[in-house]
Amino acid sequence: MRPTHPATRLARLAALLLLLAAPLPAQDFSPAIVVNDDAITGWEIEQRVRMLEAFNTPGDLGELARTGLVEDRLKAQELARAGISPSEEEVDAAVAEFAGRAGLDPDQFVALLSEAGVDPRSFRDFAATGAAWRDYVRARFGRAVEVTDADVDARLAREGSEAAGVEVLLSEIIIPAPPAEAAQAQAIAEGISRMTSEEAFSAAAREYSATPTRDQGGRLPWAPLTQYPPALRPLLLGLAPGEVTPPLPLQGAVALLQLRGVREGPYVAPEPETVDYAVLRIPGGLSEAALSEARAVAARVDRCDDLYDEARGLPEGTLLREEAADPAAIPPDVALALATLDPDEATWGPTADGGATLLFVMLCARAYPLPEGAADREAVANAIRGERLAQHSDVLVADLRARATIVGE
């Protein structure tokens, strides 16, 4: 082996000494933001930026890092006030949960973050705060978050199709037509059916209609066309805005509908698989006494099950609770009444027994089939529950921020 020249050895030694003497990359541990006397350092902000980069987070990463760290400090302070401090096992579980989302075990996940310049301690702090806060929010607000079957049905209806559906905006008039007044009611209805003015129709609704919407000029909210009786849909689609249907005969009444608008909805509302509804029979037809009783019942009940109390002690058959497996088989006047109702909403106007009985109609639920490939109902309910808990969390963090002293954000 050829000996190394002394001058060469000296040069290499000098280079090594210079390398060892070179300063390490500066780490800024000075306070950059102060949250209620709790400092966030420049190093923490840099670490959060690197972590967001590793997660491929879009947006202004510097701003997101600062905002996220401030909120984490506020959460940590609230957790401390509540006496909550996650154990090492709980932090390990939180890290494992993050890793599992990426299809990795915890060691692989932390190694990848380290390659991106993220200190494992920084990530563990982030995961620990997030997991403890989630449990805290669930414990504090969980009882206040109720997810009903109707909530699940509405979500399934929205997810039933990605295409736009047809929604219609209608006004209604239901004119009482007891046998002795049937001819007069029909004549009035014939005149209204020729109207093309929304103002004239609204005036007629206030004068003649027996439904709760009369005070709003008969105006109904936007509703998917699929919620109206199948036989009625072609008739509605054949109207131009402002036009009115011919008089529609109901038991003891005549109905008219005016089209105020048609639009593409955000989704196609599928046909309900079942419709759960209740009908309370009130003696007196469309008399003022019966209508007054209907308004009183509406003020007393909040959901369909409350109607059982209303029917207690009354003759058998006063209350009908029906879960229609074939919605098309629902009596047309009841189906029309149900069309624009949300679960636990009620209306009245249809009659029975030749107009002698007023029908108080309440929608309990619409059940929709699970879309192909959709999660089961429990998974959908859990997703809705998670969204509502997140809303509670956002409100709480906003309140903590409003009451905090934050310097440097």
Same domain, yes or no: 169 and 43: no
Q: What is the pLDDT of residues 286-339, one digit of tens each?
A: 888 999 999 999 999 999 999 999 999 999 999 999 988 887 788 888 988 998
Give the C-alpha separation, 379 to 386, whole Å.
Answer: 10
Q: How far is the C-alpha of 138 from the C-alpha of 125, rounded, in Å?
A: 20
- In Å, how far from its chain's centre is CA 227? 19
Say what the pLDDT of residue 16 is.
34
State the distance between the two ends of the chain, measured CA to CA, in whole angstroms: 63
For 19-73, how does the pLDDT look when each residue is reduced to its tens digit (9 = 90+)? 333 343 456 688 999 999 899 999 999 999 999 888 878 889 999 999 999 999 9
* Structure confidence at residue 372 (pLDDT): 56
Listed residues 98, 113, 144: the one ending a domain: 144
Residue 192: CB partners within 8 Å, gap ≥ 6?
173, 201, 204, 208, 244, 256
Q: How far is CA 406 from CA 39, 177, 313, 394, in A?
A: 10, 69, 63, 18
Other CB atoms within 10 Å distance of the CB of residue 321: 16
Same domain, 199 and 322: yes
User: What is the mean predicted confidence (pLDDT) over 88-92?
Assistant: 89
User: Each residue of 133-144: b (16+ CB within 10 Å) or e?
Assistant: bbebbbeebeee
Residues 241 and 178 in one domain: yes
More confident residue, 169 or 408: 169
Q: What is the predicted pLDDT for the residue at 160?
A: 52
Total domain count for the chain?
A: 2
User: Is 68 in contact with 101 (CB distance < 8 Å)?
Assistant: no
Residue type, 54: A
Residue 373, pLDDT > 60, answer no
Q: Cβ atoms within 10 A of the Cβ of 70, count? A: 22
**Residue 269: its H or E element:** none
Supply the CATH number for residue 248's domain: 3.10.50.40
Handedness of CA 233, 239, 244, 249 (dihedral sign): negative
pLDDT in tens, 160-184: 544 446 889 999 999 988 888 888 9
Q: Between residues 85 and 156, which one has the greater pLDDT?
A: 85
* Residue where a domain terminates, one of 96, 119, 144: 144
Model-level pTM?
0.50
Tell me, yes or no, whether 81 lies in a domain. Answer: yes
197 lies in some domain:
yes
**Do 107 and 179 have their domain in common?**
no
Asked, for residue 123, whether it belongs to a domain, the answer is yes
In the structure, what pLDDT confidence band is assigned to residue 17 with cuts at 50, 70 and 90? Answer: very low
**Residue that wins the pLDDT comparison between 301 and 272:** 301
105 with 192, same domain?
A: no
Q: Mean pLDDT for the chain?
A: 84
Separation CA 298–CA 284 (nearest Å): 17
- Neighbour-count burial for 243-277, b at 16+ CB within 10 Å, e otherwise: ebbebbebbbbbbbbbbbebeebebbbbebbbbbb
Tell me: do 137 and 168 sit in the same domain: no
**pLDDT at 266 (0 to 100):** 58
The CA–CA distances, whole Å, from 78 to 82, 85, 408 equal: 6, 11, 21
Q: Domain containing 115: what range?
A: 27-144
Asked if residue 372 belongs to a domain, the reply is no
pLDDT at residue number 3 = 44
Task: CATH number of the domain at 124, please.
Answer: 1.10.4030.10
Question: Following DSSP, what letter does each residue of 16-84 receive, concatenated?
Answer: HHHHHHSPPPP---SEEEEETTEEEEHHHHHHHHHHHHHTT--S-HHHHHHHHHHHHHHHHHHHHHTT-
Do 305 and 208 belong to one domain? yes
Report pLDDT digits (tens) over 201-213: 999 999 999 899 9
